[in-house]
């Protein structure tokens, strides 16, 4: 095995470890992530058992996962802002509000996808 391959495996192992640390930190410190993860553990298996097409199932699951992704990004932004300064600042507040709005928009998308596929489609 070449040195380049070994470096690739080491980099991949480290990336997986850092990602798992991030998920653990989000679960331990972010109540919203924990609540959204609980919903995901209900909604994703439900999507697998519903009588829908494969594309619809993918959309149902992807919309739920999108909420988790945006919540993780929002939490990262909030952590970075809190690290920079604990003082109130208009731009810090705006950044946190924008992150929160992004999570809300993805929740609306998820609700729309589920309503459209299950009840309106």
The set of residues, in sequence order, having a beta carbon less than 8 Å from that of 100 and lying 6+ positions away, is: 74
Counting residues of the chain whose pLDDT is more than 90, the rounded percentage is 87
- Inside any domain, residue 8: no
- What CATH number corresponds to the domain at position 58? 1.10.287.3610
116 is in an annotated binding site: no
pLDDT tens, residue by residue, 39-83: 999 999 999 999 999 999 999 999 999 999 999 999 999 999 999
Report yes or no on 103 lying in a domain. Answer: yes
Q: Is 71 annotated as a binding residue?
A: yes
pLDDT value, residue 24: 97
Question: Is residue 92 one of the residues assigned to a domain?
Answer: yes
| Active-site entry in 56, 71, 90, 116 | 71
Output the pTM of the full model: 0.90
The reply, when asked if residue 94 is annotated as ligand binding, is no
Confirm or deny that 51 is annotated as ligand binding: no
Domain count, the chain: 1
Is residue 116 flagged as an active site residue? no
The Cα 96–Cα 89 span in angstroms is: 11
């Amino acid at each position: 095995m070449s040195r380049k391959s070994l470096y690739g495996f080491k980099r991949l192992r480290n990336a997986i470890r850092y990602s798992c640390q991030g998920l653990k930190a989000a679960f331990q410190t972010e109540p919203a992530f924990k609540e959204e993860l609980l919903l995901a553990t209900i909604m994703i298996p439900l999507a697998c058992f519903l009588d829908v097409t494969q594309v619809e199932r993918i959309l149902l699951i992807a919309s739920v996962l999108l909420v988790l992704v945006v919540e993780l990004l929002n939490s990262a932004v909030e952590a970075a802002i809190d690290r920079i300064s604990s003082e109130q600042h208009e731009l810090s507040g705006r950044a946190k509000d924008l992150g929160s709005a992004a999570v809300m928009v993805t929740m609306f998308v998820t609700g729309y996808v589920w309503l459209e596929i299950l009840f309106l489609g």
